Chain A
Amino acid sequence: GIQVEQSPPDLILQEGANSTLRCNFSDSVNNLQWFHQNPWGQLINLFYIPSGTKQNGRLSATTVATERYSLLYISSSQTTDSGVYFCAVDGANAGGTSYGKLTFGQGTILTVHP
C-alpha cells in the first residue's frame, strides 16, 4: 500500500516563529489532507489539497503531486498551534481498496513556547 512519511517528527518553536512541515508519499493520490489533532483527540481539518496551493490565515499548504510531497507552512506561530499535525492520503492506484481509506503519516509533534 501507499506509504506516508512526515518530517520532522518533533518541532519546538518560540511563539512568533515560522515553520514548515513536510509530507512525502510513495504513490499518486486522489486526496491529501492535513489535520491538527487537538488535546482531546479530535482531528481538525486544515486543508484538503491533493494538488496546488491554499492559504487559510496564518496557515498555508502546497502539494506537488508530480513529485509526491506536500508542505504545511505555519507563520507567526502561537501557543494554540501546539499539538500533532497529520498528513493523510488516499492512494489513486489502489482501486477499490482505497474507498474511504486514508493512510496517515506518523505525525509531527509541534510545541510552541510563549
Chain B
Amino acid sequence: KAGVTQTPRYLIKTRGQQVTLSCSPISGHRSVSWYQQTPGQGLQFLFEYFSETQRNKGNFPGRFSGRQFSNSRSEMNVSTLELGDSALYLCASSLAGRSGAFFGQGTRLTVV
C-alpha cells in the first residue's frame, strides 16, 4: 500500500507570491490534516478535511487555505507569502480522523 505522498518536496518562492502544495493520502483514508513545522513553534496544526469538508482549523491567518477533492487528495494554498511562512509543511492521513495518523515526507518551503 502506497504511503502519503506530498508534492513538491522543495519550493523556493518570493515574498508576496502564492503557493499550492499537494497531498495524496493512503488509499481508503478520508481524513487529511496539514501541519506546519518551524524551529521556533514546533509542529502546529493547520486544518483537517474529511469528505471534502473542512472539519477543523488551527490558529493561522486566512492566507492559509485548503481543499479536498472527491478522491480525498488535498491541496493547501498560501497566498501573499511572508518570510515567516518558510517551514516544513507536513500532511497526514487517517481512516477517520480519530485513528492513527500517517505522515508524508513533507514539502520544504523557503520564502526569500
Contacts and interface: CB of A to CB of B under 8 A. Distances in A.
B and A form one assembly: yes
Interface in B52-74: 55-56, 58
Nearest to A35: B103
A83 B90 CA distance: 17
Q: How large is the interface on B (under 10, 10 to 19, 20 to 34, 35 or more residues)?
A: 20 to 34
Contact of B88 (A33, A41, A96, A99): A41
Contacts of B88: 41
B102 A45 contact: yes
Contacts, number: 73
Interface of A: 30-31, 33, 35, 40-45, 48, 86, 88, 90, 96-104, 106-107
25 contacts: A31-B99, A31-B100, A33-B101, A35-B103, A42-B106, A43-B92, A45-B100, A45-B102, A45-B103, A48-B99, A86-B43, A88-B43, A88-B101, A99-B31, A99-B48, A99-B97, A100-B45, A100-B49, A100-B55, A100-B56, A100-B97, A101-B48, A102-B35, A102-B92, A104-B42
